[in-house]
Structure 1
Amino acid sequence: MEIRMTRLKLMLAAGAATTMLATGAASAATHGNRAALKDLPTYSGTVAHFTITPRGAIDGMILSNGTEILFPPYLSTEIAYAVKQGDQVTVRGLKAAGEPVIRGVTINDATSHQRVVDNGPPAGFGPHHHDRATRMMADGKVAQVLYDPGGRRNGLLLENGTVLHLPPPEFGNQKIAALLKPGATVAAVGAGTANALGKAVMVRAIGPSFDALTRIAPPHRPHRFQPRGPMAGPGAWHHAEWQPRPSQPAPAK
């Protein structure tokens, strides 16, 4: 299936790909030019895992080479129909400078022959469109660190496929720093969802085991996402709940 690209997303796609990668910015030079999609670099690989939000929506995928591809949760249903684990995909998008994370704009699935294009959120889209988060526990060995579109660390993928969401400031918390890296064994409690796509937990306490947990400060939830970092710009939607309010400092450790 192919979705026509909106004016907003064409603004995101416009400009030379080499310039966007060099500066790490999702800048837009023109709009209204469908050919601008061709300027975006492509990334190909096999889908190894999906990542989901604590409410159960797909918000990305991990390729077999470890590359993380991010998509907005409002594409969750389309991605679920078009892409399966093990499929070969080609993604066009923008890469965060210095980190293996790409903000995807289009997906072409060579197995299903389906195409998904980010057309912006549908009218009325919101958290109520997905499952309600409930209290959950998760444990396992860390496979890799996850990132937001700006290249900030904001989660962990466990070897069993579970996604642990954490506020980016917690990656500077020395009390838990040893746990937030590949190979570490972790246990976490928080609020989340488990469904056919996987399991995700918004972490409220984490430790090497369930009897040795360290509480972490909950993130502020702004009224609007204010993107920051090298990939700020139209479509910088991912994990908005982890952004501190501009008028308040990040929680003290």
Structure 2
Amino acid sequence: MAIHRRSSCRLLAGVLLAGCLGAGNAHAAGKHAPRPESTAPAPAQPALVFDIAPLPVTTGQLVQYILTPAGQVSGMLLADGTQVMCLHELGENLPAIVHAGEQVSVHGLKGVNLPIVRAYAVSGPRGMRIADVRPATGNVPFDSPSIGPDVPVDGTVLAPLYGIQGKVVGVIMKDHSVVYVGDANAVRLAAWLKPGASLHAIGTGVTGERGTAINAREIGPDVNQAIHIEPADAPPPGAFPGSAGYDVIPGSSQAE
């Protein structure tokens, strides 16, 4: 009886000791094991109306988001120099699926002679995809700050910045800043906007974690040669609010 009782006690003690060692090892492994990278959930979107499968696919490494002067994402710059253009909803969802330095795939229309792509769907490296499902009712205008703090940009031009119509509308700088001047100013100031040129610009815009983007009001090779230009978001010329001609509609009998 005594022998049987001692054997049972020894067996129970061994089981308890093994359990404690196993729990300790599991705790240590959990303490030192790498934590899975947290990823934002893919944005919920309506089902596609059109089949985008036949569209050309452009792949590359994301260098930076292209921002509007209000801080909205309007596209991406890839490592090979391709500029991907997105409408509002698609652009604002890009940071949820791809970050700078990661590979991205884009279903979209390629420029004929320019390094541009009009994106209709974008796939990130973690299997998430977003698509342009908005009805084709024309471009949704981005908010653009006509007033606000001045943001200076100084550095070297990396590449021309293209608009959705393929016209040059500004520049992307080597420090990733984006300077908008509008297509009319871009033609007039083409010599200052060439890749490799030194550029100084100041205007209203944003600067932060996503990057810097401004509507230039002053621009030049340096601060001493800067000239004043009409910002890209300047309202069309006309009578100022409150004046006698402000409420007159051009072409009406009042305007004659």
Same fold (TM over 0.5): yes
Higher relative contact order by CA 8 Å / sep ≥ 6: 1 or 2?
A: 1
Q: Aligned AA for 2:202?
A: V
**1:4 matched to which residue of 2?**
46
> Does the aligned pair in 2 maintain the 1:6–1:120 contact within 8 Å?
no
SS in 2 for 1:211: helix
Distance in 1 between residues matched to 2:66 and 2:123, nearest whole Å: 18
Q: Aligned AA for 1:102?
A: V
Q: What is the number of equivalent residue pairs in this alignment?
A: 189
Q: How many Å apart are 1:221 and its aligned residue?
A: 4.7
Q: How many Å apart are 1:118 and its aligned residue?
A: 1.4
> Does the aligned pair in 1 maintain the 2:82–2:116 contact within 8 Å?
yes
After TM superposition, list the pairs within 5 Å mapping 1:1-253 onto structure 2: 1=42, 3-5=45-47, 7=49, 10=50, 36-110=51-125, 112-120=126-134, 133-173=148-188, 176-219=189-232, 220-221=234-235
Distance in 2 between residues matched to 1:149 and 1:128, nearest whole Å: 16
**1:243 matched to which residue of 2?**
none
Distance in 2 between residues matched to 1:203 and 1:210, nearest whole Å: 13
Distance in 2 between residues matched to 1:140 and 1:119, nearest whole Å: 38
- Quickly say closer, same or farther: Cα 1:51–1:69, change in 2 above 3 A: same
Question: How high is the TM-score relative to the length of structure 1?
Answer: 0.68
Q: Deviations over 1:120-175 (max 9, x none)?
A: 29xxx976799x853211111000011112211112010001000111111221xx
Q: Give unpaired runs (5+ residues) of structure 1.
A: 11-35, 223-246, 248-253
Q: How many Å apart are 1:4 and its aligned residue?
A: 3.1
Q: How many Å apart are 1:117 and its aligned residue?
A: 0.8
- Quickly say closer, same or farther: Cα 1:119–1:151, change in 2 above 3 A: same
Distance in 1 between residues matched to 2:173 and 2:144, nearest whole Å: 26
Q: Give unpaired runs (5+ residues) of structure 2.
A: 1-41, 237-249, 251-256
Question: How high is the TM-score relative to the length of structure 2?
Answer: 0.67
Larger Rg: 2
SS in 2 for 1:39: coil
Q: Deviations over 1:184-222 (max 9, x none)?
A: 000001110012110001111100111221111234558
